[in-house]
Chains A and B, each alone.
Chain A
Amino acid sequence: MIELKQLSKKFGDRWALRSLDLTVSHGEIFGLLGHNGAGKSTAIGMMLGQVWPTAGEAIICGHDVAENRPRALHKVGAIFETPVFYDYLSGWRNLEILSQYTAPTAPARMREVLEWVGLTGREMAKVKTYSHGMRTRLALAQALLPNPELLILDEPSDGLDPEGIHEMRETILRLRHELGLTILLSSHLLNEVEQLCTRIAVLNQGVKVFDGTLEQIRQSRLGWVRLNVGDFTAAVADLCAQQLVTDARDGSHVVLAPGVRTDALVRRLVEQGMPLFEIVHEEQTLEGFYLDLMKKKEEPVVPVQG
Chain B
Amino acid sequence: MVDGSLAAGSLPDPAPRARFAKAWGAHRRARRLQWLTGAALLALLIAVSAWLGEVNLALLWERLPRFGSYFGRMVPELAWATLWDDLAYWYWNGWQWLAALWQTVLIAIYATLFGAALAYVFSFLAARNLTPAPWVGVAARRTLELARTIPELVFAVLFVFAFGIGPLAGVLAIGLHSFGALGKLFGDVAENADPEPLRGVRATGANWAQTMVYGATPQLAPDYLSYGLMRLEINVRAASILGFVGAGGIGQELYRAIKNFDHTDISAIALMLIAAVMLIDALCGWLRGLLIGRDGLRAL
The finding on whether chains A and B are genuine partners in a shared complex, rather than unrelated, reads: no
B residues apposed to A, CB below 8 Å: none
A residues apposed to B, CB below 8 Å: none
